């Protein structure tokens, strides 16, 4: 069969079930696409072709394998997540090590029949939202290589959007699993903290880190998340929780007040945000304007205060010995932790707790938020001139989510008419609303009709039912 450009899980499953495709045939197509793709910065390391073929052949030969939930599905892993047999670099060659086993989430996916293709590029130590802070190069937006792909999970997003794999794992502490989705016309799931194990993940801010999932559709991403999720006794931050429901009708969704809108002068992005509001309203939702100020203040704590010290904690010894081996911007951000005292950290925690109390009543007024994933998209040239300011701008609507213990799903939100670049919106809900939120995200994505990834192909799966 002729495979579509986007390797959607639902479409591959159908082809496998009909006997039109085998994993061995699929990986030949995947390996050809990987070799031909023009952006060499997507991958940091690759599973050897012979090993990919061996894995596919083993699945093809096993009569029980087709019953596995991710049978024959190709995927990629951000290179701050361990995969046995490949170095973990966190985009810093001096830091690289060879793990003895795969991260818990990676092993669960492999056990479910998925086929690992390789490790993807990232902003070094997952510190950035631009995808350009890596000695391995800067993966570019799949729609225009003059623009950033978004970070820190840059390579993972590009690998999916370009049709090289069906899904990819990233991480998301400040927006790294959402911003690249928005810039590459994908779905990006930022799960509830602790829902997916972080054992085998190089910490950025360990108390806030989440493993994220990129895919073409909310249904695909949700399927992957369900396989990867589960309590892990080896992860001190792993947790269980009762599912948080969302109303099936009459959904109330929070939107930005005019005074809180920040789009960096990108009028087309603002118009596309308004269009998303109109679409969700047409689907039966009710838009509720709210004061974003307290959420913005919470977001500012992540990089603008002593919380940056948590980025130093897991690599303190390495930083002391190898600071000069790091990306200069990343080194400066993490090194700023030394300016803060333990008392400063506690003061920031007290302020965050107060903001949690201030923002909590808003969740009685609405069920979910609908926010821009990012105010705008920036070019490589502009970023070089203002690397810190523009990175901060991209996190305007993402940085607060983990601090306030929320879950989020980024979905495509249309394209700018002037340059053809995508815009994304993000749905945000209380912790453990992940499955219900995926249903809302799926309906919103399908209402747009713009498809997924570079090819903008229609979504293959039937609407997600939750």
Q: Which of 45, 134, 153, 176 is labelled catalytic? A: 176
> What burial class does residue 430 get, using C-beta atoms within 10 Å of its C-beta: 0-12 exposed, 13-18 middle, 19+ buried?
middle
- Distance, in Å, from the CA atom of 324 to the CA atom of 327, rounded to the nearest integer, reads 8
Residue 269's nearest CA partner among 414, 380, 383 is 414
Name the DSSP class of 202.
Answer: -
| Max CA pair span of the chain | 63
Q: Judge whether 168 and 120 are in contact, CB under 8 Å.
A: yes
Q: List beta partners, residue 215.
A: 167, 187
| DSSP alpha helix (H) spans, 387-455 | 387-394, 400-403, 434-448
Q: Which of 45, 78, 154, 238 is catalytic?
A: 78
Q: Is 226 a catalytic residue?
A: no
198 to each of 121, 304, 411, 446, 452, how far by Cα in Å? 18, 25, 24, 31, 28
Q: Tell me which residue of 153, 93, 147 sits closest to 123, measured CA to CA.
A: 153
Using a 10 angstrom Cβ sphere, with 0-12 exposed, 13-18 middle and 19 or more buried, the burial of residue 304 is middle
- Count of alpha carbons within 13 angstroms of residue 232, beta-carbon side: 22
Q: Strand (E) positions, 225-299?
A: 252-256, 286-290
d(CA 371, CA 253): 10
119 given a catalytic annotation: no
Q: 78 catalytic, yes or no?
A: yes
Alpha-carbon distance of 59 to 52, in angstroms, equals 11
Spot the catalytic one: 134, 149, 152, 217.
152
Instruction: Please give the positions annotated as active site.
Output: 78, 152, 176
């Amino acid at each position: 069969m002729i495979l579509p450009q986007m390797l959607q899980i639902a479409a591959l499953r159908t082809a496998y079930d009909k006997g039109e495709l085998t994993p061995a045939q699929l990986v030949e197509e995947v390996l050809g696409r990987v070799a031909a793709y023009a952006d060499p910065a997507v991958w940091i390391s690759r599973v050897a072709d012979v090993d990919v073929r061996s894995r596919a052949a083993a699945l093809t030969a096993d009569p029980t394998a087709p019953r596995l939930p991710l049978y024959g599905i190709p995927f990629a892993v951000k290179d701050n997540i361990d995969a046995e047999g490949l170095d973990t670099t966190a985009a810093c060659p001096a830091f690289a090590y060879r793990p003895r086993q795969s991260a818990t989430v990676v092993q669960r996916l492999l056990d479910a029949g998925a086929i690992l293709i390789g490790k993807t590029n990232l902003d070094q130590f997952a510190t950035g939202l631009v995808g350009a802070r890596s000695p391995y190069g800067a993966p570019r937006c799949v729609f225009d290589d003059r623009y950033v792909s978004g970070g820190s999970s840059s390579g993972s997003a590009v690998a999916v959007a370009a049709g090289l794999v069906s899904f990819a794992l990233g991480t998301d502490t400040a927006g790294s699993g959402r911003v690249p989705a928005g810039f590459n016309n994908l779905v990006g799931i930022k799960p509830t903290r602790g829902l997916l194990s972080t054992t085998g993940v190089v910490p950025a801010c360990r108390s806030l880190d989440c493993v994220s999932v990129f895919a073409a559709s909310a249904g695909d991403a949700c399927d992957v998340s369900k396989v990867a999720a589960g309590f892990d006794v080896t992860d001190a931050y792993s947790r269980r929780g009762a599912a948080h429901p969302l109303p099936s009708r009459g959904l109330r969704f929070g939107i930005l007040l005019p005074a809180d809108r920040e789009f960096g002068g990108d009028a087309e992005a603002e118009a596309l945000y308004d269009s998303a509001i109109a679409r969700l309203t047409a689907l039966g939702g009710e838009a509720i304007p709210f004061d974003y100020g307290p959420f913005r203040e919470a977001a500012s704590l992540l990089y603008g205060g002593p919380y940056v010290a948590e980025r130093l904690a897991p690599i303190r010894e390495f930083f002391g010995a190898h600071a000069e081996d790091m990306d200069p911007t990343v080194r400066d951000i993490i090194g700023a932790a030394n300016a803060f005292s333990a008392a400063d950290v506690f003061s920031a925690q007290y302020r965050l707790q107060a903001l949690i109390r201030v923002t909590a009543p808003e969740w009685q007024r609405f069920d979910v938020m609908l926010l821009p994933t990012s105010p705008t998209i920036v070019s490589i040239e502009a970023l070089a001139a203002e690397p810190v300011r523009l990175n901060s701008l991209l996190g305007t609507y993402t940085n607060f989510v983990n601090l306030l213990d929320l879950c989020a799903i980024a979905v495509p939100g249309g394209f700018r008419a002037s340059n053809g670049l995508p815009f994304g919106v993000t749905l945000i809900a209380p912790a453990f609303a992940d499955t219900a939120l995926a249903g809302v995200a799926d309906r919103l994505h399908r209402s747009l009709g713009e498809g997924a990834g570079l090819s903008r192909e229609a979504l293959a799966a039937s609407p997600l039912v939750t």
